[in-house]
Copies of this chain bind each other. A is one copy, B any other.
């Protein structure tokens, strides 16, 4: 058995969007850009699952700084790489401090 986790510290690139899966599950999606050593921008497409969490994060906005930990799911299509993160933990840390910016994880 083994464990793999990714940890990202970055700014939210644009306002998060609430989406629904075909089975009706609610998910909050946002992207985190990261400039790698080659000065290319990698995009991490983050998803927060669970209706309670999604509803509690209505204040999450573009430009906020976050620490995110989760499971990285990679896919490739036509030579392009897609990086998806199922978020297990998130801590907001800047760019729009709230009265209560706690995240219900």
A residues apposed to B, CB below 8 Å? 1-11, 32-37, 42, 44, 64-67, 71-76, 79-81, 83, 89, 91-95, 97, 100-102
Contacts and interface: CB of A to CB of B under 8 A. Distances in A.
By DSSP majority rule, is chain A's interface helix, strand, loop, or mixed? Answer: strand
A11 B101 CA distance: 13
Contact of A1 (B42, B81, B102): B102
A93 B11 contact: yes
A7 B7 contact: yes
B5 A35 contact: no
Contacts of A73: 36
Interface centre among A37, A42, A66, A93 (most CB of B within 10 A): A93
B8 A4 contact: yes
A74 B81 contact: yes
Nearest to A64: B94
Nearest to A92: B1
